[in-house]
Amino acid sequence: MLRILIFLPLCACLGQALADTRPIDELPLKSVADQHWELPAGEYHGNFRIDRPLTLRCAEGAILDAGGTGSALTLAASDVTVSGCTLRNWGRDLGAMDSGIFVERQAANAHIEHNRLSGPGFGIWVDASRGTLIRDNDIEGDTRLRSQDRGNGVHLYAVSGAQVIDNRIWDVRDGIYIDTSNDNLLQGNRLRDLRYGIHYMFSHNNRIIGNATLRTRTGYALMQSRQLTVIGNHSEQDGNYGILMNYITYSTLRDNQVIDVRPGGDGDAMISGAEGKALFIYNSLFNQIEGNRFEGSALGIHLTAGSEDNRIAGNAFVNNRQQVKYVATRRQEWSHEGRGNYWSDYLGWDRNGDGLGDVAYEPNDNVDRLLWTYPQVRLLMHSPGIELLRWVQRAFPVIRSPGVEDSHPLMRWSPPAATEDTP
């Protein structure tokens, strides 16, 4: 018999709701195979717990309602599958980790697939478990709460070997939050209207493949981590930052698209100093940033706080209001093996037709410094006079200030060929 325990909160209104349900030993579960059970349509109120290996599939219309307290469903055994269920109205106590589905550390190899979750706390919390599969779920937060008071859609803590694939997450705090978790895969998730789409903290050797963020405050917040593989992701209309790299080392960013990042926000969305940056690199070293497209943002790429010794080549910087902001003490060469980046505002030429500009591109030249020193000059940034001044100083350099130089700028850009890592 399926072993599910109900924890009864001391609430008169919930007690009234429970009066309409059956005792647990009379729950109308249907056995469909060995250790495979189906929950028929209906509303089942309470906080449920599964503590032995089994597969629970819900019929259309089967709803687990936690009554506004605790977690709707707790997995406390290995090899549990939960599929096709609707879970709603769990608690909002983030300190107690109230969740739609809470996976305890002994619950290895949990499979959570094709479910619909809607509630104020965390959607799915995985606590120091391994081998979890979270696939094709819809997770919705509670917009009646402030963003910072909501839980994350998927929260992985001290997890290894997890796969978070093809989920749709919206109106929670962070779409997917990863803390101290290594060797995991996030792929094909669709994340919108959040604080951070994907948020990494102290997590190494993870793969972020083919995800998409929309209207978040930061699409991909990668922090204090190393050996990340970030390939084929999409960011659109995110505010403040499309991709934020903070203390990231030995990682690969390839074939990503960041479009239309917007400055700042309103209310608690506003981040001091945010400038609508497609890519912000802070104190991050020894990374490969290749084949990405940064387009239509207030600032294409900003490097600061010692973010040197990164390979930045084969990227496209298209129609950003400012292409590059670089704060450092030595020059940076942004080409690799004779191939640089594409710059939509490049004014050089290609006399031999090899697809490479004959004149180096210097986005942080003295004109840029003039604009930083006297912001009012930005009104003339695209005027013929400023463009002529840029051309003259590149053709006849007198003073070379520390900054970025692309010695082999691309005259045109096309998406890189797919590789085995590309979705």
pLDDT digits (tens, 9 = 90+) for 385-414: 656 666 655 555 555 555 788 999 999 988
Task: Give the position of tokens 């963003």.
Answer: 147
- Single out the residue of 371, 375, 257, 273 nearest to residue 324, CA to CA: 371
- pLDDT per position as a tens digit, 198-217: 999 999 999 999 999 999 99
> Which has more pLDDT, 397 or 358?
358
State yes or no: pLDDT of 13 exceeds 60: no
What distance in Å separates the CA atoms of residue 359 and residue 356, rounded to the nearest whole number? 9
Mean pLDDT of 368-377: 55
Q: What local confidence, expressed as pLDDT, does residue 263 receive?
A: 84
Query: With pLDDT > 90 as the criterion, what percentage of the chain qualifies?
Result: 67
Mean pLDDT of 94-98: 96
What distance in Å separates the CA atoms of residue 31 and residue 273, rounded to the nearest whole number? 58
Pick the most confident of 74-78, 184-188, 304-308, 389-393: 184-188
State yes or no: pLDDT of 10 exceeds 90: no
pLDDT class of 325 with cuts at 50, 70, 90: confident
Q: What local confidence, expressed as pLDDT, does residue 33 receive?
A: 84
Query: Strand 47-50 to strand 4-7: parallel, antiparallel, or no bridges (unpaired)?
Result: antiparallel
What distance in Å separates the CA atoms of residue 137 and residue 141, rounded to the nearest whole number? 13
> Which has more pLDDT, 51 or 292?
292
Buried b (16+ CB within 10 A) or exposed e, 210-220: bbbbbbbbbbb
Pick the most confident of 172-181, 276-285, 381-390: 172-181
pLDDT class of 270 with cuts at 50, 70, 90: very low
What distance in Å separates the CA atoms of residue 238 and residue 217, rounded to the nearest whole number? 6
Q: What local confidence, expressed as pLDDT, does residue 297 receive?
A: 95
- pLDDT per position as a tens digit, 149-164: 999 999 999 999 999 9
Q: What local confidence, expressed as pLDDT, does residue 29 receive?
A: 74
Lookup: tokens for 259: 């479009």
Q: What local confidence, expressed as pLDDT, does residue 267 receive?
A: 41
What distance in Å separates the CA atoms of residue 195 and residue 197, rounded to the nearest whole number? 7
State yes or no: pLDDT of 27 exceeds 60: no
Q: What local confidence, expressed as pLDDT, does residue 332 receive?
A: 83
pLDDT class of 265 with cuts at 50, 70, 90: low
Q: What local confidence, expressed as pLDDT, does residue 26 receive?
A: 44
**Architecture (CATH level 2) of domain 45-405:** 3 Solenoid (2.160)
- pLDDT per position as a tens digit, 293-302: 999 999 999 9
* 43 Cβ contact list (under 8 Å, min separation 6): 21, 63, 65
Pick the most confident of 21-25, 188-192, 405-409: 188-192
What is the residue extent of each domain of the chain? 45-405
Instruction: Annotate 161-212 with three-state secondary structure.
Output: CCEEECCEEECCCCCEEEECCECCEEECCEEECCCEEEEEECCCCCEEECCE
State yes or no: pLDDT of 274 exceeds 90: no
Task: Give the position of tokens 């463009």.
Answer: 387
Look up the pTM and report it. 0.85
